[in-house]
Amino acid sequence: MSSSVSEAVAQTGKLVVHVAKNGQSDQLLLCLDSKREPHRTLSAYPEPVLVDIVDIPDPSLPSPSQNSVALDDASDPALKALPSYEMQFRYHFHRGHAIYSRTQARFEACERLLEEQKVQEKALEIARGNLDHFYKMINQNYVDFMKCYSQQHHVHTNLLAMFVRDKEKLRSIRVMPALQTANRKCLLDFVKEESLQKTWEDCNSLHKQFQNKVSEFLESLGTMQNI
């Protein structure tokens, strides 16, 4: 992919969209720094917040005919230019007032937006506090669960691992001759070996499944903690 990126901007209504090209056929559509997903329409993305401010235009340039006093016949050049100076002064005064009014309107809008941001900040602090509270509860449940799980997992693993050895030990222990029958010559003959083997296989399978579920849970928890 080329490192040079050209960017085009298209504006429709209030929605500002950036189209970035990588120099080839691929295109990346961004909306307010969010990647445009192919399965989502543009209406699913937030629009930028626009603030309505009354526009105060600059005054129009005055014409010489607007002079309130005509002193063309005055002998003093300074006195003769006085109406022009007055006209320019009035123009600059009104233009300065227009600039001041626009600045004041923007300043008031900034103050209003600042107050709104402060309200949003407080709301975010409350939301973050709630999230911290619930996270601590979840984390404590996780600690308690892992403590119990680790103990039980160790016990169950040992039981499953010793099954074959214990079964052979039962097979090796002979019953007293006076108690022996045609079908019962060792302790293992007093249990249903096939049923016992099936139970062990089921328990071993469930043990592995639960172990995999715990691994998935730990992976999800780690991802959540890294957000």
For residue 21, pLDDT over 90 is answered with no
In a domain, 168, yes or no: no
Examine the domain organization and report whether 102 and 61 are in the same domain.
yes
Per-residue pLDDT band at 31 (split at 50, 70, 90):
low
Per-residue pLDDT band at 107 (split at 50, 70, 90):
very high
DSSP per position, 111-165: HHHHHHHHHHHHHHHHHHHHHHHHHHHHHHHHHHHHHHHHHHHHHHHHHHHTHHH
**Averaged pLDDT for residues 95-99:** 90
SS3 at position 14: coil
Say what the pLDDT of residue 22 is: 44
pLDDT in tens, 154-198: 999 999 999 989 899 988 989 888 888 888 889 888 888 888 899
Containing structural domain, residue 102:
54-147
Examine the domain organization and report whether 113 and 129 are in the same domain.
yes
In a domain, 89, yes or no: yes
pLDDT in tens, 190-222: 888 888 899 999 999 999 999 999 999 888 888
Examine the domain organization and report whether 44 and 62 are in the same domain.
no
In a domain, 65, yes or no: yes
Examine the domain organization and report whether 42 and 120 are in the same domain.
no
Examine the domain organization and report whether 42 and 76 are in the same domain.
no
Examine the domain organization and report whether 141 and 70 are in the same domain.
yes
In a domain, 192, yes or no: no
Which of residues 100, 126, 147 is at a domain's end?
147
Examine the domain organization and report whether 38 and 63 are in the same domain.
no
Which of residues 122, 147, 172 is at a domain's end?
147
Burial of 67 (0-12, 13-18, 19+ CB in 10 A): middle
pLDDT in tens, 71-96: 566 667 776 667 778 888 888 999 89
Say what the pLDDT of residue 66 is: 55
Examine the domain organization and report whether 130 and 58 are in the same domain.
yes
Strand order of the β-sheet with 6-12 is 6-12, 15-21, 27-31, 34-35
**Averaged pLDDT for residues 47-72:** 66
**Averaged pLDDT for residues 141-151:** 92
Say what the pLDDT of residue 145 is: 92
Examine the domain organization and report whether 90 and 134 are in the same domain.
yes
In a domain, 176, yes or no: no
In a domain, 183, yes or no: no
Integer Cα distance of 65 and 73 in angstroms: 16
SS3 at position 21: strand
Examine the domain organization and report whether 61 and 27 are in the same domain.
no
Q: Domain count of the chain?
A: 2
Residue 86, CA distances (Å) to 29, 77, 123, 201 in order: 56, 15, 55, 105
Which of residues 14, 32, 50 is at a domain's end?
50
